Chain A
Amino acid sequence: DAGVIQSPRHEVTEMGQEVTLRCKPISGHNSLFWYRQTMMRGLELLIYFNNNVPIDDSGMPEDRFSAKMPNASFSTLKIQPSEPRDSAVYFCASSPNEKLFFGSGTQLSVL
Chain B
Amino acid sequence: GDSVTQMEGPVTLSEEAFLTINCTYTATGYPSLFWYVQYPGEGLQLLLKATKADDKGSNKGFEATYRKETTSFHLEKGSVQVSDSAVYFCALSDRRGAGGFKTIFGAGTRLFVKA
Contact = CB atoms under 8 A, between A and B. Distances in A.
Majority-rule SS of B interface residues: strand
A91 B99 contact: no
Contacts of A31: 100-101
Majority-rule SS of A interface residues: strand
A103 B43 contact: yes
Nearest to B36: A100
Given A99-B46, A100-B36, 11 more contacts: A35-B105, A50-B99, A55-B96, A56-B99, A95-B100, A95-B101, A97-B101, A98-B101, A103-B43, A104-B41, A105-B43
Interface of A: 4, 30-31, 33, 35, 41-43, 45, 48, 50-51, 55-56, 91, 93, 95, 97-100, 102-105
